[in-house]
Structure 1
Amino acid sequence: MHPFDTVTARLILVLAEEGSIGRAGDKENIAPSAVSRRLSELESRLGVILFDRSAQGVRLTAAGEVYVERTRAVMREIADLETVMAEFATSRRGSLRIACTSASLSGRLPELLAKYAERHPTIALDIKEMGAAAGLSALEDGLADVAIVSDNYDFSRFETRPFEDDRVWVLASPDHPLAPELAPRKAIAFERVVGHEAVGIHHAGSLDRLLNEHARKAGHTIGEHVRVETFPALVRLVEAGFGIGFLRSTSLHLLAGTDLLCAPLADPWALRQLLVARRKSGPVSTAMKSFISLCAETYVPTPE
């Protein structure tokens, strides 16, 4: 029996996520030819084909899906074992790996991390900024200890607690037809704004999913002739007159120095939360327990 090769196993997991040998190589800083060679050697050793290759990329076979599922479990066990052993190594610095969204980094997370570092100076913090879906995947794969993500995902495999309330706001330029209604900064119904052309943000991201879900429920489609990947770009295009935009309250600081008008959405679904999540089946290190406790201690709910 060949020993379990964690490097190749990690490459297979990344390859399954990316669907491309080139992108997997870029992500892991390994030449595509090396990725291809490791994959071929593994398939030859196992006697099965793990991926179907095509000009469009690679796709898991039935055998590949089983291999990836079992490999994720093994990699989680390895990560969990290291966490447990670190608790015994009292002379070793502790560590905490946090997967977090840009929204959390725009909100109270930096100040909370500073307070945590002050209380626990020997804990090394490893902060990885990524989308919510990627953050939850990192938790599942044992690549992060906790994740701070938006609340509109499946959390059945995770334990969660509130981290920060985060209402959705609508913004527009001063010459937009909605400007008079936004100027007082009083809450406005989604129904009043959904019919206007909007600047789209990060397709399939949490805010995009949220807005389109409730637009469909209201019998509307959000018109988006322009779509961007970052909130600073969205603000600039709303300034330029391409339509209205939507931001979470943790990103309202991006409006500083602009003449844009904004108001919170009045609909109950628009008051969202960022959550701090951990894997239910994972070990709870002292560093993780202290961080989650600090999150709970400093969380202040938004008044109704």
Structure 2
Amino acid sequence: MAIVPIIWGDDMAPFDSVTARLILLLAETGSIGRAAEREGIASSAVSRRVSDLESRLGVVLFDRSAQGVKLTTAGQAYAEGCRAVLRSIADLDAVMAEFGSGQRGSLRLACTSSALTGRLPELLAKYAAAHPGIVLDIQEMGAAKGLVALDEGRADIAIVSDNYDFTRFEVRPFEDDRVWVLAPPDHPLAASIQPRKDILFETVIDHAIVGIHHAGSLDRLVGDAAKKAGKPLIENVRVESFPALVRMVEADFGVGFLRSTSLHLLAGTDLVCAPLAEPWALRQLLVARRKSSPLSAAMKSFIALCNDTYSPSV
């Protein structure tokens, strides 16, 4: 009996996961150049893949302009389908791993910088010692990107700040992470900062501040609080990291805000600090996972360790 090879026509082309990931990357970056750079391929190759896909599907997936590319309505539907398929592929890999010996596997974590400067490193060391066959893949990223990584199946667990939409996720507390204000010792606000005593946000808001990481969780918290107070933030300068924020406050560019997990950065400085008194400043880091994702043995043991070692602040 002769074996007839299957030839895919334009109307029967198989799903291409590489192109699917490119579509999602273009949707995220809004730029063919940046997407090509991230993937380490030529911009022309990215354009050709997208054009070939649009030709095969008979729809336009992206609006193109001098400012970049943006998903059309059809493109949004296709991107969501890509996410669903890639999630299913990632989930299948996780399920297949459970058929192994049970002694080996992997755990992919998306973690904010706040998590990695708090108790997480010590917890990961404890986990690694107890599970030497589990390969840890730890990625540092902002909370919003961490939740996207969960959605797209690129992470099993995310440890993120609590001021996001967690409708699609299962969450539990990981670490309490209060917001503090810090100032140089000769700053006018310093006289209002007393050891172990809360300070009101309204006492702080009239002073110039050093901003941190635009659209990050801490930036959103402080910005929302200022809007509710009906006062604009006086931002002298903006930085992208907490060590840089501490240095700029030291240089008297303004007061700053830090989470309690980052207070160790004040070691060796003469800065004064105090926790904010308002309820919105009493935050938490959360352990999040996608509700529909398979709960692997590696995930179960890590979540159990997080639960056993979590100690709420009094």
Task: Tell me the TM-score normalised to structure 1 length.
Answer: 0.98
User: Separation in 2 of the partners of 1:102 and 1:58?
Assistant: 30
Residue 230 in structure 1 maps to residue 217 in structure 2: no
What's the CA shift for 1:184? 2.5
Q: CA RMSD in A?
A: 1.1
Alpha-carbon deviations, 1:4-42, whole Å to 9, x = none?
Answer: 111111011011011000111122222212111111111
The verdict on how the C-alpha distance between 1:216 and 1:299 changes in structure 2, with shifts beyond 3 A counting, is same
Show the counterpart of 1:144. 155
How do residues 186-205 of structure 1 correspond to structure 2 at under 5 angstroms?
186-205=197-216
Structure 1 runs (4+) deviating above 4 angstroms are none
- Residues 93 and 33 of structure 1: is their aligned pair in 2 closer, same or farther, counting only changes over 3 Å? farther
Shift of 1:49: 1.0
Q: Secondary structure at the match of 1:247?
A: strand
Report the residue type matching 1:243 in the other structure: G
Segments of structure 2 that go 5 or more residues without pairing to the other structure are 1-11
- Residue 82 of structure 2 is matched in structure 1 by 71
Question: What is the percent sequence identity of the aligned residues?
Answer: 73
Which has the larger displacement, 259-268 or 129-138?
Answer: 259-268
Give the SS at the match of 2:293.
Answer: coil
Kept in 2, the 8 Å contact 1:99–1:148? The answer is yes
Q: 2:3 corresponds to which residue?
A: none
Q: 1:252-273: CA deviations, max 9, x gaps?
A: 1111111111111111211100
Q: Which secondary structure does the structure 2 equivalent of 1:88 belong to?
A: coil
1:40 & 1:286 partners in 2: Cα distance?
42
Judge conservation of contact 1:148–1:276 (CA < 8 Å) in 2: yes
Question: Partners of 1:142 and 1:45 in 2: how far apart?
Answer: 26
CA deviations over 1:56-100 (Å, ceiling 9, x no partner): 100111110110011111110110011001101227830000000
Q: For residue 88 of structure 1, what is the aligned residue in structure 2?
A: 99
Asked if 1:61 corresponds to 2:61, the answer is no
> Which of 288, 298, 301 is the matching residue for 1:287?
298
Q: Distance in 2 between matches of 1:17 and 1:70?
A: 15
Any idea what SS the aligned residue of 2:235 has?
coil
- Whichever of the two has the greater Rg, that structure is 2
Aligned to 2:9: none
In structure 1, the residue corresponding to 2:21 is in which secondary structure?
helix
Aligned-partner residue type, residue 10 of structure 1: R
Contact map agreement 1:185 1:262 (CA 8 A) in 2: no
Instruction: State the shift of 1:185 in Å.
Output: 4.1
Q: In structure 1, what is the equivalent of residue 7 of structure 2? A: none
Matched with 1:39 is 50
The question of 1:4 aligning with 2:15 is answered yes
What is the DSSP-based 3-state SS (H/G/I as helix, E as strand, rest coil) of the residue aligned with 2:292? coil
CA distance in 2, matches of 1:26, 1:104: 28
Task: Report the equivalent of 2:116.
Answer: 105
1:204-243 matched pairs, under 5 angstroms? 204-243=215-254
The CA deviation string for residues 149-203 of structure 1, in whole angstroms up to 9 with x for no partner, is: 0000000000000000001000001110011222424211111111111001111
Preserved contact between residue 102 and residue 297 of structure 2 (Cα < 8 Å): no
- Structure 1 spans left out of the alignment, 5+ residues: none
Q: Deviations over 1:91-129 (max 9, x none)?
A: 783000000000000000000000100111100000000
The answer to whether residue 253 in structure 2 is matched with residue 253 in structure 1 is no
The answer to whether the 8 A contact 1:98-1:128 is kept is yes
What CA distance in whole angstroms lies between the structure 2 residues aligned with 1:175 and 1:26? 46
1:142 partner SS: coil
